[in-house]
Chain A
Amino acid sequence: MLALSQSFIPVGSAKRMLVSGLLIVCFMIGLISLAIGGVDISLSQLVDILSYKEANSLQNAVIWEIRLPRLVLTMAVGAGLAASGAAMQAIFRNPLADPGLIGITSGAALGAIATIVLGNSLLSTFSESYGIYAVPIGAFLGCLVICTLIYKLSSQGNQFTIISLLLAGIAINAIVSAFIGILTLISSDAELRDLTFWGMGSLAGNNFKMIIPSLVVISVCCLFFFKMAKPLNIYLLGEQQARHLGVNVTALKKQAFIYTALCIGASVSLTGMIGFVGFIVPHIMRLLMGPDHRYLMPASILGGAILLSLADILARTLILPSELPIGLITSAIGGPFFLVMLLKTYQSRGF
């Protein structure tokens, strides 16, 4: 609330203005992202291409086959990671929580790495019949299997307690990393390289056909996160308090977990590990406009899309014609930026 409480504009409309501002920034970043890249495309040419005036050129193919699907995926994944992060932070009632904490991402990692390493032997039929889709499908399935396991472990009877969710997540994380270790050990040199790159994340190489399933899942999850805004606000007061105020707390926790699992699974399966976005974006947005999820959710969704698009512009252009892994950029830029934000807040609040 720091930024807004001193202003003379009513708080609600100031927040709405901020969200609209983010929407505009998001749109502009999108345009910039389309215009920048290894292949030179002028702004007027871009407009021609987007309005179907120019076809059959290399530039046209680059926009429609490469940059646009990549941009859409980047924004969706950024939005999905940030929205899941916001939901996790609410469900744990802790601004430091992250979807990685409860084993969701490690499930996807296990699925992807298993597909990469066993794709030539144990899973060869699966790997051959799905081709370039095999690793994303493997990652998504891995995420679902591990999350179902965590879900079953943490729901005892009618309860779905956060502490058991956390403990199950930590235990599963440990077991999964052991399996990943085994897979790494038996992997060949080439597979080892592939799984290392998977761990650093990449948004490259996806066409529209590949990203549509992920887009649908992420959009649906974001919609549900958005609908959960009010109960999540109340939940932050405390579990008992929320129940007394009429929130079905157990259902809320279960929904948040399921949507987070789906959203993370759909994002990470196509892109590999992209750290920091789910953690940092909700945090920054909370510093800007307070914890009210009715504004925080849309702001995080937009903020995630903006941050990841910016990071991707850097990843694509910094060492042209080569490319940096996106996960490295988000961590390298996100970390220090976050620290500065944190220090400033502490100074201004005096604690």
Chain B
Amino acid sequence: MKVKPWSSHFVLSISLLCVFLLNPSANAKSNYERIVVSGGSITEIIYALGEQSRIVGVDSTSVFPAQATEKAQVGYVRNINVEGVLSLNPDLLLGEADSGPDKVIQQLKNIGLNTHIFSENDHFFAIEKKISKVAKLLNVEQKGRDLNAYIQTDRKALAHILSQATTKPNVLFVLSLKAGQPLVAGSDTSAHDVIKAAGGHNVASAHFSGWKPLSTEAAIATNPDVIITMGRHGKSQSLDVAKIPHFKYSNAVKNNKVLTFNGSYLLGMSPRTPQAVTELAKAIHSGVSYPKSYRLRAAQTSDKKAL
């Protein structure tokens, strides 16, 4: 069911690179060839554009695809290392809005490095805009348009599912159970956007914004129809969620609607996210189906096994 969409792009990018090498005058105005990326979704976009050979360093949130983690690491997106970046001799720093610390970004600018930090935080409906922007910066605008067209398939499939949906199920997103209380997504979170986009109602959004621990009784009172948990490396938290008193008696556990998604797949606001939301929408609504021609193409995790 899962195909590798990257390989074809890779071949394409190599051939394009050859063209550039043979014809250096073409597109000479801003051909960044040594890019440091801070932010996992940008890395994913560049890989999806097939331009990964131009990346010389990534931050620690760049975990998809798995090959990205083999690039030089310059630290966590909010805490990148100034000399680490410089030692890679880059010609562009491309970062998410939360790249930082601010003073380090300032230092890099002072030294004369080209930096482009996105001014807005990620949003489910701004993915195409971001892809276009990255494609423009990399001077591969046609590839950007191609990628966006590819994503429209997912958007259409999502619309198709939502048109069949008759209810708006109550959904709760549980990030982790490690602190004793489940850590839950309120409003103003990426999970909230995703639930909304998939046609669900985020039951925690009425109570708070951001990620907050939820007390036992408040959790029981929310009585979600669907619980979404994060799975990493194939391990699922859904069993644990079903066991704790917070959710033991909820509709979600009763009806076996505890779903496990990979975090970067569902929340990464990357080219894979529209497909992930479509998959989510299919799972939370009953009696809905994908459009006939539609099939899932992108990988949910970066594990090589899963791929």
Instruction: Name A's B-contacting residues (CB within 8 A).
Output: 37-40, 58, 61-62, 65-67, 131-132, 185-190, 193-194, 197, 202, 204-207, 210, 316, 319-323
Contact = CB atoms under 8 A, between A and B. Distances in A.
A66 B82 contact: yes
Contacts of A66: 82-83, 86, 107, 111
Contacts of A190: 78, 98
Contact of B111 (A38, A61, A206, A322): A61
Interface in B109-165: 110-112
A182 to B, nearest CB: 13
Nearest to B57: A321
Contacts of B87: 37-40, 320-321
Given A321-B72, A321-B84, 18 more contacts: A40-B87, A58-B86, A62-B86, A65-B110, A66-B82, A66-B107, A66-B111, A132-B102, A193-B78, A197-B78, A204-B82, A205-B101, A206-B103, A210-B103, A319-B73, A321-B73, A321-B88, A322-B75
A65 B88 CA distance: 18
Q: Is the interface of B mostly helix, strand, loop or mixed?
A: mixed
Contact of A37 (B83, B103, B106, B111): B83
Interface in B55-95: 57, 60, 72-76, 78-79, 81-88
| Interface bin, chain B | 20 to 34
6 contacts: A66-B82, A132-B103, A188-B188, A197-B76, A320-B83, A321-B85
B103 A322 contact: no
Contacts, number: 106
Contacts of A202: 79, 101
Contact of A322 (B81, B102, B104, B112): B81
B86 A39 contact: yes
A323 B81 contact: yes
A247 B44 CA distance: 68
A37 B86 CA distance: 10
A188 B208 CA distance: 11
Contacts of A62: 83, 86, 111
A149 B224 CA distance: 48
Pairs of residues from A and B, 10 with the lowest C-beta to C-beta distance, nearest first: A321-B84, A38-B87, A38-B83, A205-B103, A323-B81, A205-B104, A322-B75, A61-B111, A132-B103, A322-B73
Nearest to B72: A321
B196 interface: no
B236 interface: no
Contact of A65 (B78, B79, B107, B210): B107
A65 B101 contact: no
Contacts of A197: 76, 78-79, 101
A283 B212 CA distance: 43
A65 B83 CA distance: 11
A133 to B, nearest CB: 9
B189 interface: yes
Contacts of A61: 110-112
A320 B60 CA distance: 13
A189 B106 contact: no
A189 B97 CA distance: 14
Contacts of A321: 57, 72-75, 81, 83-85, 87-88
A189 B111 contact: no
Contacts of B84: 38, 320-323
B211 interface: yes
Contact of A205 (B60, B82, B189): B82
B117 to A, nearest CB: 14
A72 to B, nearest CB: 15
Contacts of B106: 132, 205, 207
Contacts of A185: 212
A279 B60 CA distance: 33
Nearest to A315: B81
A122 to B, nearest CB: 15
A187 B102 CA distance: 19
Contact of B107 (A39, A131, A207): A207
A119 to B, nearest CB: 11
A190 B61 CA distance: 13
B102 to A, nearest CB: 5
B119 to A, nearest CB: 15
Contacts of A193: 76, 78-79
Contacts of B101: 132, 194, 197, 202, 204-205
Given A66-B107, A321-B74, A322-B84, A131 B102 contact: yes
A205 to B, nearest CB: 4
Given A37-B83, A190-B98, A322 B74 contact: yes
Nearest to B88: A321
A204 B111 contact: no
Contacts of B100: 194
A40 B83 CA distance: 10
Nearest to A131: B102
Contacts of B211: 188-189
Contacts of A322: 60, 73-75, 81, 84
Contacts of B189: 189
Contacts of A207: 103, 106-107, 110
A322 B85 CA distance: 8
A31 B100 CA distance: 28
Contacts of A132: 101-103, 106
Contacts of A323: 75, 79, 81, 83-84
A207 B82 CA distance: 12
Nearest to A186: B210
A57 to B, nearest CB: 11
A194 B77 CA distance: 11
B123 to A, nearest CB: 15
